[in-house]
Amino acid sequence: MKLENISLSNSVVQLVPLEIKHTKELLEASKDGNLADLWYTTVPNEDTINKYINQALEDRDMNISYPFVIIDNASNKIIGTSRFLNIDVKNKRLEIGNTWYAKSAQRTNINTNCKLLLLSYSFEVFGAIAVEFRTHWHNHKSRAAITRLGAKQDGVLRNHSMHENGEYRDTVVFSIINHEWPVVKKSLTYKANFKA
């Protein structure tokens, strides 16, 4: 099962496959809040945007990742990105990650709506038995947001990966499993209609 031609949408957002043509708009979104300056995330800037997109497209071609750009329906602008990662067709597992939003889209119902779409696809189309979320130990906002989705913390992978500057990252792993999905979906559907 190769993931391809996936577009997800509701009344608030659209998630469409990332393409080279999105470079300029994605870069503009990253400038909203100077997101590339956050040391505990990987958000592209003018120097890294081409490498960032090319790597994402290569990973998609190998079926290990499926990157999206996120479009805010109210403004019809790209306001961030997210991906399916570590796609394991055999074991019916995947991760939702590499997610970031322009500062102006944060603390709105954008993230809730995006995660509702991504999780619905994961459990109801892909047939996932578990969906993971991972974040940097020091990214407290992300950890809180993942918990608000209904995910439970599985553990912390110490010295899990090394940044280009040589620093090691401790990665916090969360998941939602398939029998939890109906209640999580009910909660997210409720929250998606409000600021959450």
Mind listing the pLDDT tens digit for each residue in 69-86? 999 999 999 999 999 999
Cα–Cα distance between 187 and 149 in angstroms, integer?
8
- Runs of H (alpha helix) within 32-180: 49-61, 110-121, 140-149
Which residues are paired to 69 by β-bridges? 16, 81
Q: Please, what is the Cα angle at 99 between 186 and 59, to 5 degrees?
A: 115
Cα–Cα distance between 132 and 148 in angstroms, integer?
14
- pLDDT digit string (tens) for 104-125? 888 888 999 999 999 999 999 9
In the prediction, which pLDDT does 71 show?
A: 97
Over pLDDT 90: what percentage of the chain? 69
Low-confidence ranges of the chain (pLDDT < 70): 33-41, 194-196
In the prediction, which pLDDT does 15 show?
A: 98
Fold of 8-192: Aminopeptidase (3.40.630)
In the prediction, which pLDDT does 83 show?
A: 96
Cα–Cα distance between 134 and 98 in angstroms, integer?
9
β-pairing, 93-101 vs 130-136, is parallel
In the prediction, which pLDDT does 196 show?
A: 44
